[in-house]
Structure 1
Amino acid sequence: MTRPLLLDVPTRVDFHVKILSERVVQRAKERDIDVLVYAPHFTRLPTIEARADRFTDDDVLVVPAREIFTGSWRDRKHVLGIGLSRPIPDFVSLPGAMDALDEYAGATLVPHPEFLTVSLGQAAIERYDGVVDAVEVYNPKHLSRHNETARRIATELDVPVFGSSYAHLPGTVGEVWTTFDREITSTEDLVDAVTEGADRTVAHRPGFAHQARCALERAHLGYENTWEKVDRLLLSGMEATHPDHVAYDGAFDDSSVY
């Protein structure tokens, strides 16, 4: 997935959005975002790739990615894979997911470390040194203490950083970005920038409007974690990213937790 070489360095990347539409892409352009990493919940990789390709244009590159939900719903940990050469399902063990990401992902990122109960902690990040390529140090769902914890982990473990809007709502797109010191015009370029330790800075929009957007995203988090959603995701039938789905051809039977 490549677009024309029209960007001037540096490049602004919003490393994690859950939604994608014309409105989202327009918002990215208004916020001077050059690259969006699109990783919706419980959606198979071919679907993500097709939508990313559809919404990529001369101004915004959309990079397909998967936020893998490891473990059971009650004990889940999130890991973000970019540049995947093979689909990886949700609801596999953390070791199984990390082994698959090590083999099939161009870059493996840790979103929102030590945030609530859905994140990798410092010990796990250290355990998977050599697999983890970057740790998120700012997103709008974090409180200040979460950002401080994430930065401490990245510093103590000497792991590169990134920031994202983690946008579940269109208005949050582009609230946070990571600026690289190079031109990025393809998924491969982004993977190289992450894994090669390219110079980068993490920034966010200032002021009350940004804080209001953060508050809206935190409110949305409450909706996301209701038992109604659990019922919809797990009890309504075979999900597209369940390891037992025919699309995975039994490749993850040994690491499936359901």
Structure 2
Amino acid sequence: MKKKRRSNHKKVKKKTFKKSFLILTIFYAFVVVIGSTYAWITMADERINRVKTNKVAIKVEGDQTTTLISPATEAEKNITVRNVSTSPGFVRVSLEEVLLTFQIDTRDRIGNGNVKKFNTAEAPEIKKDEIVTWLSGKTYKVSSNVFYKGDIKQTNTFLLSDLARENMLFQYIELTQPNVTTIVGGGTGYWLYEDGYFYYSDIVKPNESTSILVENIVSIPDTPNLMKNAFYGLEVKAEGYSITETSLELMGLSPADLAYHLFNDYLI
């Protein structure tokens, strides 16, 4: 009987040990998970803070209203970027184009080649200076009971010397950019074009502006009749960055990029 009690006592001790070990294991795993989660949140916060601290507030200036297209017309824009923060910074810009044509009256012997007029509206209404409303099949109010109906809509990221542009209606529209180059060096106040972005050559100080990026929007003489009174919008997407190496990383620049060498000498 004594042996039996001793044996039962050992079993109880063994069970107690297993239970304690299991509790310790669960506790350790819990601590590891909490610690890892905290570390991940901390790193995420650091990344978010780093992005915020590397941004410099900027403002696009110039005429950003919609351009009405017709053959051989020119619209002055004088697009620049101003630093509205309290710190100097780098500036880069990308350009997005949007075009909306309207239905043309081209019926044989009756059509006059002008924009076709409708007397009923198709909601939602097209608004000239609200690109998001530019939709095919919807109407733009010209006057009381006179509407133009949207026809062809095209969008495009503006690229310098883009051969694909020749397959779009944008081929009839040109941007005058007197200060743009594809080479680093040789002066100040220019814009370096590389891979879809325009990088300003100089540090932009608080309350100072860049040189002109887009001076005019021009429709060439051979612009087809189907683009008569078309809406052309140019969205200027400007970014401002602090003068740090982290900013170059955020812009995705490496020593293989021209823009990297443009900015590298300015780093603090």
TM-score normalised by the shorter chain: which range applies? under 0.3
TM-score (structure 1 length as normaliser): 0.25
Q: Which has the higher strand share?
A: 2
* Larger-gyration structure (1/2): 2
User: Structure 2-normalised TM-score?
Assistant: 0.24
